Structure 1
């Protein structure tokens, strides 16, 4: 008895639903016909009957089966793997072995390797093709390799939980007919035949037309399959016999339970079969596992002289179904991928890599137009440009988003950001016009408070302090602009002479918990303002002022101002030694501070009070020297503005190019353009940032102008007095003498 490796593999292998046929074996080929047990038992994944049938496979399936006579002298085996790629495409692979031994003589064997492909032409129609490589050993006398091919269609007109499932198939088996050589000296490879015809060197395995019908219904309790085959459709008269010979088979499977069924069939070879099928689901790594066992005696109907025969098959399915895989792919494409890209863009934004963030948000907007956060991607794309001071590009994105997403809840933000850009560019009239539109269209939205803040800042900068207060008062705790609004209100009230209201605004800031460093810095600024109010009130409260100044952190941007306040407070209570220490701290640690000149003034006063006129003169001369010329001169302003204007055209060009590149997917060509633009962007952006920093310094210089005259007058008069005390003054006017007497009183 011959042994086979598949006898063992069948125990562990995987398989598919079996198909069966009803027939009367009337065809007797003149020379050769393949055994059709594969068609009886192989099912969809074997591809033997119809390669299009593998399109019905919903999961990765691996099957193995073994058929044998009771003596073991004749047997057939196969293994098959089917892989559904997506809705359209399915791949299959099968290996068949068919063999027999004669006493102790040489064996006869056929070994076929089949590779198949099925394509869903539409929802219920599939086309399949396969290519087979057949190796035949004819009792060691002739050994050869030949090729074959099949083509088929399957149609699924019915798929209903109520009425059942129907599959109709038609296939031309061996459209490329494997050829069997008759000459022992023939070549090892035999060219297949096509469309029949007699051959001298070999004969062709018959080409067959197979029609199949499969039905599953009655709540999946009943399966019926019938098959009709026309054998040898391209029959050659020279080979004898008859062509187009019909054969039929029929199979009936009834499931006693979802996991157990009984089967009866009548085969094309002419004998009845009985069997059973058992299956389980979701066991270990298997989504589905089934065992089929069938048996018969092939002398019951037509004498085959093989006696009792039996077959066993194991079927298993692994992994996700076709629907699950495609659903996951769609979920990934429609949700996971855009969300990942959106998060990546947001990370760039939060890391202040604004140009890269603009490109990344542009990718989200372009690649995933149906993504539920695409309107937010547009917003942050524009914000990225805005943070780069690329206002032209930012405005273009906001305006486009207003048109593109008319139902978005981001529309109010788009309008506000356009207003904010006008404010930043000093276009107050345009900004206030947009504010009116926001108030009318989005009066109930969260954006209204932001618009109120910007409008309040505009009114403040226009000197309309009460109007500024009226707008800013609507901004309540919890709003991101609350600290800033209260600070502006405090200054506005101070300029209106409403010092109690100013104090309340600054206290509101110091009593609220801060959520970021900017708010912490603003709290320190509010403490400094409170200290100034206590210091300069009608009834000065110097201890309260010093307490406020001492609460300011050394890392605060207003720490030098707080220290100067402490110095003035000590001077106010006639403690020159204590006053000089904080003033000297400003000079030593903050040499670039605008308050250095006033710190020298304080030190000059302290020395004067101690009658150390020489040191007083030195300090007061430093105060005058550092105050006489503005920190930012008119010439410096003109020069900076000219350099900015010269760079503006180039910067506008960079904006246009960056905006265009942000609308495109990051292909290699686009990425190369972005890389080429980067040096121009860096150059223009550096110039813009330098001008912005210069402008901020100019603003601080302008604010210092209000103290310039006071410091010069105070330093000049005290300097003249100190020199007089030293005997260095030439002469003193009557007015100066009166002021000198006042200083004497101070001493």
Structure 2
């Protein structure tokens, strides 16, 4: 059995939802009409609106929610419509609507309408007109509408309408609900577009009870029908042609003032009191008759910016009008102004009310439905994920790896379809590596291999796992992963990286031939080339192949395109190692030149100074001895904490001895012995500190797993709170990792020094004894010389006395 993924399940649920909505809409239309027909509440109902069906259709280019909410799916961008009819001296109806499409299949609209007459003469209970007393008979409508495209050719919609009568002594306040369907089976370039609509008006209603006795403004069940066809040829003088039909079939309104009803004589206004009286008497005789209003329209656009319109409507009304279009006016993408002059061919209307003017303005603004969807998809699939990815990279480059790991996890959890999820996975693993969370890093890389089977980062994932195995001294698995890379991804960018790591592994395992073969395959220009050359040089030093070692170190030194601080340090170290090799071979001139290339800011400067001092000592003349003393003193003063200071004192002592400055030489030798006898970290102390570190880090594995699980969850306030709670725990782990790393480096440095300290101490003690002996010998020589001088003086004095005695005898 094939398991469905999340996308298949979502599509299935969507299809089920659409099918359910379709069945519900059809059932509602089939059941509610006969049910409402049996209630007998058809009298009355929104008199001024129902019978203006064709006028409202003019107002909205076949997108009027009042006629049929399902028509709103034809709105492609935000649309503001303003319309009014000037009928005699009355501005009625007044129509305002704004429709907003959202997502691909949804549209919402809000409509305000006012329909009615002012200055209607008031009558008494017997229907007699009361002179000088007038009432206003009007209704205000607030309507919210929603439409949804179920299928490419079928849409549904609903209205919720609040009707607010403005009548002095009668009327009700209430809510009504409508249900509409739109069927658009044809959408063809040649045949044009065909749309059919049906709307059941007042499917449900709720009276809020503002009646003063007589029932007024019931909410009858009405049926609105629409048919629409248009074609856009985009040819000269035939840019667009359009035909539309609108029809309303209504329960007869008996107890209402039927403004706009074709059976109502609208000339009964002003002083025509007899006509008014007749109309109010006639309304009591009307009961459940059917009223029909219709309109047939044709529109022809010879140019894109100009169109003509005409047709026929109820009461033999002929509309004649035109349309003007402007595009891209500031923030408005389209502005359309329509004007109709409607004239009735019947003589039943008074002269002042036999014609009227209809004005409409449409303003379209904002993105189209497709533009909005594209922007949302761009934002969700590209922009927002890219912003989150950039933020994660910013944290990573700022070396804020703890925060970066969660930022990359956010990209993976929130935007699984983002094009850079494989890159985010890679850097998430790198973030864990820098925090020495190797278990979490390994799991992230393995996750990347499983999920992104076609990603270009697959070789990188395998290499990072190989590198983790190398760091944890799991050399066998590291070489297995190296084999995978060589077999599957030999041409990948990481292949030289894998070669270098494999070469280091072979070097550590003393498999020198394999190491040479692998490292020699790394070509100049690759970022691993200099490091591979250094490893090859050290390998040849171990094998006593000094000429080959000098050649590999020379390859590093003559490389001019230094790109990183690490490569610069490597080049400085190569100068030092090359100086050592030349020194051991007795080539003092080349050794001197190599040591001199190391700059004072280098971390290998102390070793270069020591080598330079020994080179001066080997010079064999008093001037070179003095230079050796200066060089050793320079090392002692500029690098007082270096482990080479003790040997610098030894070199200084030798040089002082050679120039016969025995007193200062003895001081230098004693200082060297003192530093060799200083207390350093013992093996026992190192083991105790290591045991403490293991106790502190015992829970680090479970912490890594917990933090990885949290990082891969979608962002939430609970997750953010949990992460903040873990931050303190991570800081304590991170501090312990840093402290122990510093301790281990210092301990290893001291262990290495202690091995050489034994030799240094012996050499210093012997040199000290020699210096002391030379001083003692020098003292004895001076005593003998003084004794000899005194003896000679006595002999001279004796000779002089003898001479004097001899002279006296004579």
Structure 1 counterpart of 2:732, from 683, 689, 693: 683
1:392-411 matches, within 5 Å, as: 392-411=439-458
TM-superposition CA deviations, 1:222-257 (whole Å, max 9, x none): 212112321117989977244344443211212223
Looking at structure 2, the residues matched to 728 and 426 of structure 1 have their Cα atoms a distance apart, in angstroms, of: 59
Q: Which residue of 2 aligns with 1:334?
A: 381
Structure 2 counterpart of 1:62, from 64, 80, 85: 80
1:151-190 matches, within 5 Å, as: 151-175=179-203, 190=209
Q: Which residue of 1 aligns with 2:597?
A: 551
TM-superposition CA deviations, 1:7-61 (whole Å, max 9, x none): xxxxxxxxxxxxxxxxxxxxx9989832405434222454221122222211111
C-alpha deviation, 1:564, in angstroms: 1.8
Is the 1:45–1:54 contact (alpha carbons within 8 Å) kept by the matching residues of 2?
yes
TM-score normalised over the length of structure 2: 0.78
TM-superposition CA deviations, 1:494-524 (whole Å, max 9, x none): 3333333323322322332211212122221
2:113 is aligned with 1:113: no
Is the 2:410–2:712 contact (alpha carbons within 8 Å) kept by the matching residues of 1?
yes
Structure 2 counterpart of 1:72, from 69, 74, 89: 89
Structure 2 counterpart of 1:659, from 694, 700, 708: 708
Are the structure 2 counterparts of residues 604 and 235 from structure 1 closer, same or farther at C-alpha, using a change threshold of 3 Å?
Answer: farther
2:111 is aligned with 1:86: no
1:581-600 matches, within 5 Å, as: 581-600=630-649
Q: Mean Cα displacement is larger for which, 504-513 or 103-112? A: 103-112
2:158 is aligned with 1:126: no
Are the structure 2 counterparts of residues 205 and 393 from structure 1 closer, same or farther at C-alpha, using a change threshold of 3 Å?
Answer: closer
Looking at structure 1, the residues matched to 503 and 231 of structure 2 have their Cα atoms a distance apart, in angstroms, of: 75
Is the 2:44–2:218 contact (alpha carbons within 8 Å) kept by the matching residues of 1?
no
Q: Which residue of 2 aligns with 1:633?
A: 682
Looking at structure 2, the residues matched to 552 and 649 of structure 1 have their Cα atoms a distance apart, in angstroms, of: 43
Q: Which residue of 1 aligns with 2:216?
A: 202
Is the 1:354–1:384 contact (alpha carbons within 8 Å) kept by the matching residues of 2?
yes
SS of the residue corresponding to residue 256 of structure 1 reads: strand
TM-superposition CA deviations, 1:719-744 (whole Å, max 9, x none): 22112223399xxxxxxxxxxxxxxx
C-alpha deviation, 1:209, in angstroms: 0.8
SS of the residue corresponding to residue 367 of structure 2 reads: coil
Looking at structure 1, the residues matched to 511 and 679 of structure 2 have their Cα atoms a distance apart, in angstroms, of: 27
Q: Which residue of 2 aligns with 1:741?
A: none
Looking at structure 1, the residues matched to 725 and 214 of structure 2 have their Cα atoms a distance apart, in angstroms, of: 71
Looking at structure 2, the residues matched to 349 and 129 of structure 1 have their Cα atoms a distance apart, in angstroms, of: 52
Aligned length: 684
C-alpha deviation, 1:557, in angstroms: 1.4
Structure 1 counterpart of 2:328, from 282, 289, 297: 282
TM-superposition CA deviations, 1:135-157 (whole Å, max 9, x none): 4444x666875544433222232
SS of the residue corresponding to residue 726 of structure 1 reads: helix
C-alpha deviation, 1:631, in angstroms: 4.9
TM-superposition CA deviations, 1:93-114 (whole Å, max 9, x none): 2222334455997665443332
Is the 1:576–1:606 contact (alpha carbons within 8 Å) kept by the matching residues of 2?
yes
C-alpha deviation, 1:176, in angstroms: 5.0
Are the structure 2 counterparts of residues 585 and 239 from structure 1 closer, same or farther at C-alpha, using a change threshold of 3 Å?
Answer: farther
> Which structure dedicates a bigger proportion of its chain to helix?
2
Point out where structure 1 has 5 or more consecutive residues left out of the alignment: 1-27, 180-188, 193-197, 730-747
Q: Which residue of 2 aligns with 1:487?
A: 534
Is the 1:111–1:135 contact (alpha carbons within 8 Å) kept by the matching residues of 2?
yes
Structure 1 counterpart of 2:584, from 511, 536, 539: 536
C-alpha deviation, 1:344, in angstroms: 1.2
TM-superposition CA deviations, 1:638-690 (whole Å, max 9, x none): 12321232233211121121122122122111222222222222222222233
C-alpha deviation, 1:115, in angstroms: 2.4
Looking at structure 2, the residues matched to 506 and 239 of structure 1 have their Cα atoms a distance apart, in angstroms, of: 116
Is the 1:147–1:191 contact (alpha carbons within 8 Å) kept by the matching residues of 2?
no
Q: Which residue of 2 aligns with 1:150?
A: 178
Is the 2:171–2:216 contact (alpha carbons within 8 Å) kept by the matching residues of 1?
no
Q: Which residue of 1 aligns with 2:783?
A: none
Indicate the structure (1 or 2) with the bigger Cα radius of gyration: 2
Looking at structure 1, the residues matched to 748 and 511 of structure 2 have their Cα atoms a distance apart, in angstroms, of: 19
Looking at structure 2, the residues matched to 111 and 338 of structure 1 have their Cα atoms a distance apart, in angstroms, of: 48
Q: Which residue of 1 aligns with 2:477?
A: 430
Q: Mean Cα displacement is larger for which, 128-137 or 390-399? A: 128-137
Looking at structure 2, the residues matched to 73 and 415 of structure 1 have their Cα atoms a distance apart, in angstroms, of: 82
Are the structure 2 counterparts of residues 201 and 312 from structure 1 closer, same or farther at C-alpha, using a change threshold of 3 Å?
Answer: closer
TM-superposition CA deviations, 1:586-607 (whole Å, max 9, x none): 3233232121111111111122
Looking at structure 1, the residues matched to 583 and 442 of structure 2 have their Cα atoms a distance apart, in angstroms, of: 46
Looking at structure 2, the residues matched to 283 and 518 of structure 1 have their Cα atoms a distance apart, in angstroms, of: 60
2:341 is aligned with 1:295: yes
Q: Mean Cα displacement is larger for which, 383-392 or 90-99? A: 90-99
TM-superposition CA deviations, 1:462-508 (whole Å, max 9, x none): 33444433322222233222222222222222333333332332232
C-alpha deviation, 1:442, in angstroms: 2.0
Is the 1:38–1:48 contact (alpha carbons within 8 Å) kept by the matching residues of 2?
no
Q: Which residue of 1 aligns with 2:262?
A: none
Looking at structure 1, the residues matched to 228 and 286 of structure 2 have their Cα atoms a distance apart, in angstroms, of: 34
Q: Which residue of 1 aligns with 2:615?
A: 569
SS of the residue corresponding to residue 314 of structure 2 reads: coil
Q: Which residue of 1 aligns with 2:365?
A: 318
Looking at structure 1, the residues matched to 46 and 570 of structure 2 have their Cα atoms a distance apart, in angstroms, of: 97
SS of the residue corresponding to residue 276 of structure 1 reads: strand
Point out where structure 2 has 5 or more consecutive residues left out of the alignment: 1-41, 121-131, 234-238, 256-282, 779-810
TM-superposition CA deviations, 1:286-332 (whole Å, max 9, x none): 21221211112224476465133221211121111011101110111
Q: Which residue of 2 aligns with 1:525?
A: 573
C-alpha deviation, 1:280, in angstroms: 2.9
Is the 2:317–2:344 contact (alpha carbons within 8 Å) kept by the matching residues of 1?
yes
Are the structure 2 counterparts of residues 239 and 159 from structure 1 closer, same or farther at C-alpha, using a change threshold of 3 Å?
Answer: farther
SS of the residue corresponding to residue 527 of structure 2 reads: coil
Looking at structure 1, the residues matched to 763 and 206 of structure 2 have their Cα atoms a distance apart, in angstroms, of: 115
Q: Which residue of 2 aligns with 1:185?
A: none
TM-score normalised over the length of structure 1: 0.84
SS of the residue corresponding to residue 372 of structure 1 reads: coil
